[in-house]
Amino acid sequence: MNRELQIKTKDKEYPIKFCQSYEGLLGLLDHIDFTNKKVCIVTDTNVGNIYLEEVKNALGYSAEKVVAFTFPAGEENKTLNTVYELYELLINEKFDRKSILIALGGGVVGDLTGFTASTYLRGIDFIQMPTSLLSQVDSSIGGKTGVDFKGYKNMVGAFYQPRAVIINTKTIDTLPKNEFSSGMAEIIKHALIKDLEYLDWLEKNSEQVNLLNQESLTEMIYRSCCIKKDVVEKDEKEENIRALLNFGHTVGHAIEKIKDFTWLHGECVSVGMVVAAYLSYKRGYISKEKCYRINNVLVKYNLPIEVKDISPEEIIKVTKLDKKVKSSVLHFILLNELGVANIYTDVTDDELLNAINNII
């Protein structure tokens, strides 16, 4: 039986549905009426090459018109320029307020499509069809949409919820291995901040998961979606507990920038989580053994636990730059226990420097 979840946010309620093929897509979207509606499938070159035809075929003649917008894959294209081109297509094709966008791809496609949907004609419907592991467990759920601007990540955007999230777990088969590991970092993060039993599961099932066993993958993606759903429903606009999802991200973002985005997001977050765990240990919240346990699970999923050629001072400098732009106080997420995290605003430079020095 296919799994399903229902997300309830302030102004929208929508399902997250799981499948292993796009064949039955219309059945999964039976709460949406496509009759007399125009649909635009937005995708990138990598994903479009593999899945666009399948999705088009699955939609068949349900809609008045189905068009596609394919842009070159890569974060460097998550920009207003691409949004501009998409607006042009939508206007040329006479898309109106009843029209629907479908985001078929990873987080780049999802964020950009959601943002376009939120602004075109003051907001039209969109559907998330995430195809990367990261987008299936993280970016497609919760309504954060946006694009990068002048090198600042996600600087322009909106909170805008989709009408549905369709997770085809079979698409993970074609995902590059390093992208898979990158997504695993967010999954391990979910377990560390919210669910000790899930951490046990990830440790025990690493072989099956790494072999992309469908049953194990589905179980894992479903469990992560449950955690993300729970957090987002309690705090849609990141006013409090949604910030827990930033565990490992303060240092992770800094590494990402210093490495000039040559390391994948999850790889940077992995090292960031090791630093945050060490900080938690130094404060006496968790034991050293628990830090080792965290390192081990990251290694099981082929994630790095250290980074060479970066000075700790540089990381602290970049962390502060990020802070200046996005918020006035540095929020640090620490673990009080495996499976329990809290937000701290009192982490000092010395503490951070010490932790980074011990890791990197």
Out of 113, 161, 171, 206, point to the residue binding ligand NAD (CB under 6 A): 171
- Least separation in angstroms between residue 204's CB and ligand NAD is 26
111 touching ligand NAD, by CB under 6 A? yes
Q: Which bin fits 19, alpha (ψ -120 to 50), beta or left (φ > 0)?
A: beta
Pair 279, 198: CB distance under 8 Å = no
319 touching ligand NAD, by CB under 6 A? no
- Least separation in angstroms between residue 69's CB and ligand NAD is 14
Catalytic residue among 78, 265, 267, 295: 265
Q: Which residue has the tokens 């830090």?
A: 291
Q: Which of 178, 230, 183, 184 is nearest to 206 (CA)?
A: 184
- 192/291 with CB nearer ligand NAD: 192
- Name the DSSP letter for residue 138: I
- 154/210 with CB nearer ligand NAD: 154
Catalytic residue among 46, 77, 168, 246: 246
Distance CA 107, CA 221 (A): 15
- 137/291 with CB nearer ligand NAD: 137
User: Which of the stretches 14-22, 99-107, 217-225, 293-301 binds ligand NAD when contact is defined by CB under 6 A?
Assistant: 99-107
Pair 218, 18: CB distance under 8 Å = yes
User: Which of the stretches 39-47, 96-104, 195-203, 289-297 binds ligand NAD when contact is defined by CB under 6 A?
Assistant: 39-47
201 to 191, 220, 224: CA distances (angstroms): 9, 9, 12
134 touching ligand NAD, by CB under 6 A? yes
Q: What is the DSSP string of 226-284?
A: HHHHHHHHH-TT-SSGGGGGGTTHHHHHHHHHHTTT-S-HHHHHHHHHHHHHHHHHHTT
Helix (H) or strand (E) holding 69: strand 65-71
User: Which of the stretches 61-69, 169-177, 216-224, 295-303 binds ligand NAD when contact is defined by CB under 6 A?
Assistant: 169-177
235 touching ligand NAD, by CB under 6 A? no
- 46/280 with CB nearer ligand NAD: 46
Pair 161, 13: CB distance under 8 Å = no
Q: Name the residues annotated as catalytic.
A: 122, 144, 186, 228, 238, 242, 246, 249, 253, 265
Q: Would you tell me which residues interact with ligand NAD (CB under 6 A)?
A: 44, 46-47, 50, 73, 75, 78, 105-109, 111, 131-132, 134-135, 138-139, 142, 144, 153-154, 171, 174-175, 179, 182
